[in-house]
Amino acid sequence: MKIFRTPAAVLGLLYLCFIGYLAYSSSQLPERMATHFDIRGQPDGWMSRAAYLRFMIVFGLACPLLVPAVFYACRLLPDRFCRIPHHDYWFAPARRTETLAYLFRESLWLAPLVLGLLIGAHYSIIRANSLARPHLSTPLELALAGCLLAGLAIWLVRLIRHFSRVA
**pTM of the prediction?**
0.87
110-124 pLDDT, tens digit each: 999 999 999 999 999
The answer, yes or no, to whether residue 99 has pLDDT greater than 70, is yes
Domain that holds residue 156: 5-164
Q: What are phi and psi of 68, to 5 degrees?
A: -65, -30
Give pLDDT, residue 1.
45
HSE-up of residue 159 (Cα within 13 Å, Cβ side): 23
Across the range 67-75, mean pLDDT stands at 92
Question: At a CB cut-off of 8 Å and minimum separation 6, what does 34 contact?
Answer: 43, 45, 46, 125, 128, 129, 134
What domain count does the chain have?
1
46-68 pLDDT, tens digit each: 999 999 999 999 999 999 999 99
